Amino acid sequence: EVQLVESGGGLVQPGRSLRLSCTGSGFTFGDFLMTWVRQAPGMGLEWVGFIRSKSYGGTSEYAASVKGRFTISRDDSKSIAYLQMNSLNAEDTAIYSCFRGAFGDYWGQGTLVTVSS
């Protein structure tokens, strides 16, 4: 059974950093592009970015709203995709979720990030 589990969320002060993890199981993690999305309170889904599989270079792409502040990486030996978030601000408060592939056939349950002093 394919499963994705996000972790690492919490309360963080503006300007600080946080790293989220997306741990996959039930599939060959390294074969898949992994995507991060977020949903701010009362808002819709927002695409954050993705990381390609190593077979496709392992490179990442980002939304304009996070480019230069967020970094997506992966450790295929642990089946984990990371979202490193720096210079956080209140507008980054959201539930962060990962999904498999360029479109989400399987999603994690999400982890809440609250940016507040």
Residues of this chain that bind other proteins (CB under 8 A): 35, 37, 44-47, 49-50, 61-64, 97, 102-105, 107-110
Q: Which of 35, 51, 13, 9 is nearest to 100 (CA)?
A: 35
Q: Least distance (Å) from other proteins to the CB of residue 110?
A: 7
Closest to other proteins by CB, 18 vs 37, is: 37
Closest to other proteins by CB, 2 vs 11, is: 2
Which 8-state DSSP code applies to residue 32?
Answer: S
Token pair in block for residue 3: 């499963």
Closest to other proteins by CB, 29 vs 96, is: 96
Q: Least distance (Å) from other proteins to the CB of residue 48?
A: 9
Q: In what order do the strands lie in the sheet with 70-75?
A: 3-7, 18-25, 80-85, 70-75
CB 100 within 8 A of CB 1: no
Q: Least distance (Å) from other proteins to the CB of residue 56?
A: 14
